[in-house]
């Protein structure tokens, strides 16, 4: 995932979280990680979403009961239908829910369909639910299979992003005496231009697509 | 709550937030795609916003 894409997910989550109090919305998220394939099962993914949503406004009685029952059965973990039931209960109690899943491409391809199918079922039942997904372009097809009208937008580091990043790194330079104004100006002119040109060849920055 | 999932998304978000580069990617929040999705007027049809990012200008390359 590019720097900007990952930054964007955390920005979107923060923007939504800042609005939770005034608008009564709830936000749940997950950052996928290629190093955590074994843990990123559909059960753990949907469980992580449920975990963040059930906590809002107290744990509902039926979820407490399900937990109690599982505890009595030797700590049995919930299965997907249990989690979907918990999610349905939690979402129904909230005015609007936002679910953000970052870096879907960092899930194994075989693990992708089930979470997407579960998200689709949630949206079918609660059409106000909003889902924010990020990933490399190749996961688009998998998303499209479950959400035919999903809106896509390419995220990449534009010249301003790169310039801001370079300014920040120059400001934190640990050998500032080696820098002078003309060198600094030259770096700030050349690097953003070179990098963004390089990137444009791969993915046009200005095109937005709907599939 | 660990009963529901061993994954801890809050920890990861905190790390990313702490190390976030200010001013990078903010423009996404101002795009019409984001605003329309956020507005939530479209019902189930407009439930999903997918942001695709190629590898390339990645963190590893810029560090």
**Rounded to 10 degrees, what is the CA torsion of A195, A10, A138, A111?**
150
Q: Check whether residue A41 and residue A124 sit in a common domain.
A: yes
**Same domain (yes/no): A76, A130:** yes
Structural domain for A180, as ranges = 159-205
Mean pLDDT computed over A104-129: 93
| pLDDT at residue number A69 | 78
Q: Determine how β-strand A96-102 pairs with β-strand A151-154.
A: unpaired
Task: Give chain A positions within 8 Å (CB) of B31.
Answer: 153, 208
State the CATH number of the domain containing residue A36: 3.40.50.300
> Are both A191 and A111 inside the same structural domain?
no
Instruction: Find all residues with CB under 8 Å of B45, minimum gap 6, and list them.
Output: A149
Query: How far is Cα B61 from Cα A64, in angstroms, rounded to an integer?
Result: 47
- Across the interface, whether the CB atoms of B53 and A136 are under 8 A apart is answered yes
d(CA A78, CA A98): 23
Q: Do B4 and A55 touch (CB under 8 A)?
A: no
Are the beta carbons of A80 and A47 closer than 8 angstroms?
A: no
Alpha helix locations (H) across chain B?
9-18, 32-39, 59-62
Residues from chain B that touch A68, judged by Cβ atoms under 8 A, are none
Residue B60 DSSP code: H
Nearest neighbour of B48 by CB, restricted to A54, A150, A154 = A150
Tens-digit pLDDT profile for residues A147-177 = 999 998 887 666 777 777 778 778 888 888 8
Q: Is A211 domain-assigned? A: no
Q: How many CB pairs under 8 A join A and B?
A: 219
- Same structural domain for residues A34 and A90? yes
Query: Quick check: B52 and A139 CB within 8 A?
Result: yes
- Asked whether residue A210 is domain-assigned, the answer is no
The reply to whether A72 and A137 lie within a common domain is yes
pLDDT band (50, 70, 90) for residue A101: very high
pLDDT at B55: 59
pLDDT tops 90 at residue B1: no
Domain boundary among A152, A172, A193: A152
Q: Which of B8, B28, B46 sits opposite A8 (nearest CB)?
A: B28
Instruction: Single out the residue of A30, A183, A3 nearest to residue B22, CA to CA.
Output: A3
- Residues in chain A with CB shorter than 8 Å from the CB of B24 are 3-4, 7, 157, 161, 164-165
Residues B31, B15: Cα–Cα separation, whole Å? 26
Confirm whether A176 is domain-assigned.
Answer: yes
Residues A181 and A131 reside in one and the same domain: no
Q: Based on the fold, state whether residues A175 and A93 are members of the same structural domain.
A: no
Which residues of chain B neighbour A124 with C-beta distances below 8 Å? 44
Candidates B25, B36, B44; nearest CB to A7: B25
Q: What is the pLDDT of residue A206?
A: 33
Determine, yes or no, domain membership for A21.
Answer: yes
- Evaluate whether B16 touches A134 at the Cβ level (below 8 Å): no
pTM, two decimal places: 0.79
CA–CA gap between residue A62 and residue A93 (Å, rounded): 13
Q: Summarize pLDDT for B9-23 with one digit per residue, the tens.
A: 998 888 888 877 777
Please check whether residues A107 and A177 belong to one and the same domain: no
Ranking A45-49, A91-95, A133-137, B25-29 by mean pLDDT, the lowest is B25-29
Residue A8 within any structural domain of the chain: yes
pLDDT of residue A203: 33
**What are the angstrom distances between the C-alpha of A19 and each of A13, A89, A199?**
10, 22, 34
* Average confidence (pLDDT) over A50-78: 77
Whether residues A29 and A88 share a domain: the answer is: yes
Nearest CA in chain B to A135: B52
Q: Are residues A50 and A83 in the same domain?
A: yes
Contacts 24+ apart (CB under 8 A), A71-76: A75/B3
ipTM of model? 0.83
- Domain shared by A100 and A170, yes or no: no
Note whether A129 and A197 are same-domain residues: no
The number of domains in chain A is 2
Q: Best mutation site among A5, A69, A121 for testing chain B: the one with the most B CBs within 10 Å? A: A5
């Amino acid at each position: 995932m590019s720097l900007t894409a990952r930054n964007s997910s955390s920005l979107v989550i923060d923007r939504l979280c800042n609005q939770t109090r005034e608008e009564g919305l709830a936000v749940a998220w997950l950052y996928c990680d290629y190093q955590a394939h074994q843990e990123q099962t559909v059960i753990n993914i949907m469980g992580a979403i449920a975990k963040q949503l059930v906590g809002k406004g107290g744990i509902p009685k039926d979820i407490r009961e399900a937990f109690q029952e599982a505890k009595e059965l030797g700590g049995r973990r919930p299965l997907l239908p249990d989690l979907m039931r918990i999610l349905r209960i939690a979402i129904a109690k909230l005015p609007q829910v936002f679910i953000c899943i970052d870096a879907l491409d960092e899930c194994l391809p075989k693990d992708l369909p089930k979470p997407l199918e579960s998200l689709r079922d949630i949206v079918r039942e609660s059409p106000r639910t909003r889902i924010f997904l990020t990933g490399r372009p190749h996961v688009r097809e998998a998303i499209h299979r479950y959400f035919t009208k999903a809106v896509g937008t390419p995220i990449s580091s534009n010249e301003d992003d790169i310039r801001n990043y370079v300014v920040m790194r120059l400001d934190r330079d640990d050998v500032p005496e080696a820098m002078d104004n003309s060198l600094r100006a030259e770096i700030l002119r050349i690097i953003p231009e070179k990098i963004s040109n390089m990137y444009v060849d791969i993915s046009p920055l200005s095109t937005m697509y709907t599939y | 709550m660990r009963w529901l999932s061993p994954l801890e998304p809050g920890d990861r978000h905190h790390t990313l937030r702490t190390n976030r580069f200010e001013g990078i990617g903010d423009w996404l929040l101002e795009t019409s795609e984001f605003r329309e999705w956020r507005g939530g007027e479209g019902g189930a049809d407009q439930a999903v916003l997918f942001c695709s990012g190629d590898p390339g200008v990645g963190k590893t390359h810029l560090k």
